[in-house]
Amino acid sequence: MKNRLKIERAILDLTQEQLAEKIGVSRQTINSIEKNRFVPSTVLALKLSLLFGKSVNEFFELDDDE
């Protein structure tokens, strides 16, 4: 799964720490999602969607082989 989390975070001018705090996770979790090491739950994706004001599809995308 590809993601645009880093870009969306930059648009809102948030650090990983600030974004983490806003959605109630640790900075490490944000970092691991951005690095594609961890796929978040639907609940977390929807929290991000609410914060970015965009639908989940706009910042999470399936890889071609998925």
Partner 1 sequence: MERMTKLEGDIEKINKFTGFQLPNKFKKVGLVLIIVSILAIVSSVKLYFTDLRSQDLFERIAKTGMILGLLMISISKEKVEDELISKIRMQSFNYAVISAVLIYSLVPFIHYIFILSFSKVATIEGSKDTAILSFLLFLQILIFKKLKKAYNEE
* Contact positions vs partner 1 (CB under 8 A): 20, 24-26, 28-29, 32, 38, 40-41, 44
Q: Give the integer Cα–Cα distance in Å for 42 and 12.
A: 21
Min dist CB 13 to partner 1, Å, is: 22
Q: What are phi and psi of 2, to 5 degrees?
A: -95, 155
Q: CA 19, 21, 25 angle in degrees (round to 5)? A: 95
Min dist CB 15 to partner 1, Å, is: 15
Min dist CB 45 to partner 1, Å, is: 11
Of 44 and 54, nearer to partner 1 (C-beta) is: 44
